[in-house]
Amino acid sequence: MNFIVWLVVGGVIGWIASMIMRTDAQQGVILNVVVGIIGAALGGWLISPLVGVPSINENAFSIGALLVSLVGAIVLLAIVNLLRRGSVR
């Protein structure tokens, strides 16, 4: 059950990140969800220890954990845009 919640939260975070980066119209829903899930996981593993916030990966749903996951998704989305178009946008 926790895995399904993690997927849903990652998908929502990916959608929010795509809205912030203004790539929602160019990319499909699947890419947004994948970027959100991977970005949330990477944000949790890489950024959380640096700022001292527990991550969603550790079953800690908090505002700090969601923000760290959002930052991870935005960074990953910027990297995907850079590779696909040659610009971050």
**8-37 pLDDT, tens digit each:** 877 888 888 888 877 766 667 777 778 778
Is 45 part of any domain? yes
CB atoms within 10 A of CB 69: 32
Report the predicted TM-score, pTM, of the whole model to 2 decimal places: 0.76
The residue among 81 and 2 whose pLDDT is bigger is 81
* Mean pLDDT over each residue of the chain, to the nearest integer: 77
Is 63 part of any domain? yes
Closest CA to 77 of 14, 30, 8: 14
The domain of 71 spans: 28-89
Is 18 part of any domain? no
Is 14 part of any domain? no
Domain count, the chain: 1
DSSP state of 54: -
Query: In the block, which residue shows the tokens 């899930």?
Result: 37
Is 62 part of any domain? yes
- The residue type of 44 is G
User: Which pLDDT does position 56 carry in this prediction?
Assistant: 67
Is 76 part of any domain? yes
